[in-house]
């Protein structure tokens, strides 16, 4: 379970998290964290992962205060590449397996075969698309109850995105895992999402199940997001 109470975080007087409060139970499926650039999406994931400290408020994971040590229990995929480029894919797998007891080598092997990645290839020799595949493979090969993915499709071409989305569907256990995924690629990932959290200026503006968005409101996720942004803007006019 993830719990945030009154969480605030600022960078140079700009609020990246502004009094955020929510509880996310275990097995909440895939939650899309969406919003415009600078809305606080990436900061939220870093706070939950223990990679940033809140200025105010508290963050707990399974009842314990989140710290940098929480990374041993939460899988985090950053937007920026964060592996050793001189390693081969196999060496990166070995490194992750040595760092995280929950790393599942069998799942990693399945994902490598599915994504057609060559284990002997040096990371630096891979195309951007294949590096994106490797990054996702490393994160999803962990049997962590919480997986945080910051813009996993960023900068990838449409064919690569389609392949990666299929991989996400296949290798996430939605009954046991909670995935928070930030994205600007709503068209590609909308079919994956169980819930959507909309952020603006560091606040959680709205939160709803995607099924309710479609059935109750008759909207796509993009239309739902735009409608809430318009409501927010009108309130200040």
User: What is the pLDDT, as a whole number, of residue 49?
Assistant: 92
Cα three-residue angle 21-74-205, rounded to 5 degrees: 25
Helix (H) or strand (E) holding 22: strand 14-24
Domain 2-235 belongs to what topology? Rossmann fold (3.40.50)
pLDDT recorded at residue 148: 94
**What span, in angstroms and rounded, lies between the C-alpha atoms of 134 and 56?**
36
Tokens at residue 179, please? 């995935």
Q: What is the pLDDT of residue 170?
A: 78
pLDDT by residue, tens only, the chain of 237 residues: 899 999 999 998 889 999 999 999 888 889 999 988 889 999 999 999 999 999 999 999 988 899 888 878 899 988 766 667 788 999 999 999 999 999 999 999 998 988 888 999 998 898 888 888 888 889 999 999 999 999 888 767 777 777 777 767 778 887 888 999 998 778 778 888 999 999 999 999 999 999 999 898 898 888 888 888 775 554 433
**Domain chopping of the chain, boundaries:** 2-235
Residue reference for tokens 């040590």: 69
**What is the structure's pLDDT at 232?**
55
DSSP β-bridge partners for residue 12:
none
DSSP conformational letter for 123: G
The alpha carbons of the chain give a radius of gyration, in whole angstroms, of 18
DSSP E strand boundaries for 48-159:
56-61, 64-65, 74-77, 146-150
Give the per-residue pLDDT at 235: 44
């Amino acid at each position: 379970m993830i719990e945030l109470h009154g969480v605030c975080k600022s960078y140079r007087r700009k609020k990246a998290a502004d009094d955020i409060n929510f509880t996310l139970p275990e097995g909440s499926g895939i939650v899309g964290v969406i919003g415009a650039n600078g809305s606080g999406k990436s900061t939220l994931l870093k706070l939950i992962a223990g990679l940033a400290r809140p200025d105010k408020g508290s963050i707990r994971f399974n009842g314990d205060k989140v710290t940098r040590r929480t990374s041993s229990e939460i899988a985090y995929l950053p937007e920026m590449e964060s592996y050793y480029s001189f390693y081969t894919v196999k060496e990166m797998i070995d490194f992750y397996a040595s760092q995280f007891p929950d790393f599942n080598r069998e799942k990693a092997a399945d994902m490598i075969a599915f994504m057609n990645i060559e284990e002997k290839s040096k990371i630096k020799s891979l195309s951007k698309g294949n590096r994106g595949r490797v990054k996702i493979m490393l994160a999803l090969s962990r049997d962590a109850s919480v997986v945080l993915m910051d813009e996993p499709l960023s900068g990838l071409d449409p064919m690569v995105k389609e392949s990666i989305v299929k991989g996400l569907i296949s290798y996430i256990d939605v009954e046991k895992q909670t995935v928070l995924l930030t994205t600007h690629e709503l068209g590609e990932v909308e079919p994956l999402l169980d819930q959507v959290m909309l952020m603006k200026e560091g606040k959680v503006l709205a939160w709803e199940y995607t099924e309710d968005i479609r059935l109750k409101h008759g909207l796509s996720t993009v239309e739902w997001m735009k409608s809430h942004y318009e409501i927010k803007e009108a309130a200040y006019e």
